[in-house]
Amino acid sequence: MPQKNRDHFYQGWLYHFLVDPLLRRVHRLVRSQVKPGSTLIDIGCGTGELLFSLADVGSELVGVETSKRMWSFADRQARTRGFNNVQILFGDGAKLENFSAGSFDYAIACMVLHEMEASQRLPVLKEMQRLAPHVILVDYRVPSPANLAAAMCRFIERLAGRRHFRNYASFINNGGLLPLCETLSVSVQKELTFYSRCLHLVKTQ
């Protein structure tokens, strides 16, 4: 099925050099929540850095990316860096019918839900719930704290373009991760707040 072009100017190597280093700590925190030997799917895997950081704890890892630029960057990185247990797929996290229910131990979406259209968030989460018993979500914490770090995050989201910022604003205005989990009656097993209270990790069961 043809995919809409969802590329942005900053996706690919620019994201890799500017944003990936900022997310290293976030990726370490996600890693601390994953049991060794697990299988996992990472929705909106971006440049693949989260997956690569999990490659030695996971047995089989799949990344899904809707941006062609991000997908081809991540796919190339996986091959050139020799991550043989990592597969990067081009596609939409809401439409993963090629995988049967419970195909993975974990479904992860790290800094993804805030940047998609509001109407896409529940379908993506439903698909994650279908694919894995454990869902790990990381995104902006709502309410945002009144500090410099939160102002910086808001500024960065604004730099990413008008549509991106509109999606970010709708994520914040709709209350962030917890209302999405409540709508799907997902029980939250663990919550962590970090990065000067700007970010929020939610693990569900």
Residues that bind ligand SAM (CB under 6 A): 6, 11, 23, 43-46, 49-50, 64-67, 70, 92-94, 110-112, 115-116, 120, 124
Residue 60 CB, nearest approach to ligand SAM (Å)? 18
Residue 54 CB, nearest approach to ligand SAM (Å)? 11
> What is the C-alpha separation between 94 and 77, in angstroms, rounded?
24
Nearer to ligand SAM, 27 or 204 (CB): 27
Residue 90 CB, nearest approach to ligand SAM (Å)? 9
Residue 182 CB, nearest approach to ligand SAM (Å)? 21
Nearer to ligand SAM, 71 or 204 (CB): 71
Nearer to ligand SAM, 5 or 146 (CB): 5
Nearer to ligand SAM, 67 or 204 (CB): 67
Q: How many H-runs (helices) and E-runs (strands) does the chain carry?
A: 8, 7
Peptide bond into 143 cis (omega under 30): yes
The answer to whether the CB of 81 falls within 8 A of the CB of 53 is: no
> What is the C-alpha separation between 66 and 7, in angstroms, rounded?
8
Strands (E), 30-153: 38-43, 58-65, 86-90, 106-110, 134-140
Helix H or strand E segment including 114:
none
Pick from 88, 85, 104: nearest CA to 46: 88
Q: Which conformational region is residue 111 in: left (phi greater than 0), alpha (psi within -120 to 50 degrees), or beta?
A: left
Residue 198 CB, nearest approach to ligand SAM (Å)? 14
Residue 134 CB, nearest approach to ligand SAM (Å)? 17
Nearer to ligand SAM, 112 or 186 (CB): 112
User: Encoding tokens for residue 5?
Assistant: 């072009």
Nearer to ligand SAM, 70 or 180 (CB): 70
Neighbours of 46 (CB within 10 A): 25
Q: What is the DSSP letter of 4?
A: P
